């Protein structure tokens, strides 16, 4: 099964060359400001892609999905499966998608570090195949540049490494952390397409599972 991971395309998705595969996974921030027209344009672009299954997670920029217009926003994504903090199974694989990340400024899906966000992570079942969160775990592909401060979530790190232990944990949010690394039996992927200057210089990441 060929999985294609992208994230943080910020409404400039038409500049991206997406390789073919069985399942396309977007880890959030597919819009810039979460407007209706951005979601609609993103959906049209998804319709041009050949992947059999397309799974979409929201991020902090996708504000409409964390508002009273959530149901409207969801109906706009007719060319993909949108999963908001929940489990999805397809082709014999289990996915859990979650849009939350530690609080900063006044963006969408913000939770305070500590018990507030840990409550969400505890709802993720152990042993799933693929975990998709918008934000990264602490110390793993979570810095804006090599050697800079870790910006990920400590509680997510502990839950993923000690309890959930997925085969793959994919995320975005921290553009400068793009890449992949394997720790124990989990492959961690930061699939951010944009860099810190919002230029689409990073490539989609393809994994055979």
Is residue 170 within 8 A of residue 177, CB to CB? The reply is no
Tell me the residue range of the domain where 33 lies: 2-208
CA 111 to chain centre: 16
Q: Is 102 helix (H, G, I), strand (E, B) or coil?
A: strand
- 183-190 — which CB contacts under 8 Å span 24+ positions? 183/140, 186/160, 186/161, 188/136, 188/137, 188/140, 188/141, 189/5, 189/141, 190/7, 190/136, 190/141, 190/142
Q: Which residues contact 6 (CB under 8 A, 6 or more apart)?
A: 16, 18, 24, 25, 26, 27, 191, 193, 204, 205
How many domains does the chain divide into? Answer: 1
CATH of the domain at 38: 3.60.21.10
Summarize pLDDT for 129-185 with one digit per residue, the tens: 999 999 999 999 999 987 789 999 999 999 999 999 999 999 999 999 999 999 999
Stated pTM of the model: 0.97
CA distance 155 to 76: 33
The yes-or-no verdict on residue 114 having pLDDT over 80 is yes
Is residue 173 within 8 A of residue 101, CB to CB? The reply is yes
Summarize pLDDT for 50-89 with one digit per residue, the tens: 999 999 999 999 999 999 999 999 999 999 999 999 999 9
In this structure, how many other beta carbons lie within 10 angstroms of the beta carbon of residue 127? 10
């Amino acid at each position: 099964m060929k999985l294609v991971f992208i994230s943080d395309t910020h409404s400039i998705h038409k500049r991206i060359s997406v390789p073919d595969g069985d399942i396309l996974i977007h880890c959030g921030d597919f819009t810039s400001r979460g407007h209706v027209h951005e979601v609609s344009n993103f959906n049209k672009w998804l319709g041009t892609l050949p992947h059999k299954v397309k799974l979409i997670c929201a991020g902090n920029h996708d504000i409409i999905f964390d508002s009273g217009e959530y149901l409207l926003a969801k109906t706009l994504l007719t060319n993909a499966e949108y999963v908001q903090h929940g489990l999805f199974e397809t082709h014999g694989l289990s996915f859990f998608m979650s849009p939350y990340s530690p609080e900063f400024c006044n963006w969408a899906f913000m939770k305070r570090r500590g018990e507030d966000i840990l409550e969400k992570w505890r709802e993720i079942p152990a042993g799933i195949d693929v975990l998709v969160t918008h934000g990264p775990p602490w110390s793993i592909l979570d810095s804006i540049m090599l050697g800079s401060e870790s910006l990920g979530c400590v509680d997510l790190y502990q839950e993923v490494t000690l309890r959930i232990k997925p085969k793959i944990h994919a995320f975005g949010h921290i553009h400068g952390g793009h890449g992949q690394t394997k720790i124990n039996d989990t492959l961690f992927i930061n699939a951010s397409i944009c860099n810190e200057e919002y230029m689409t210089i990073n490539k989609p990441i393809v994994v055979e599972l």
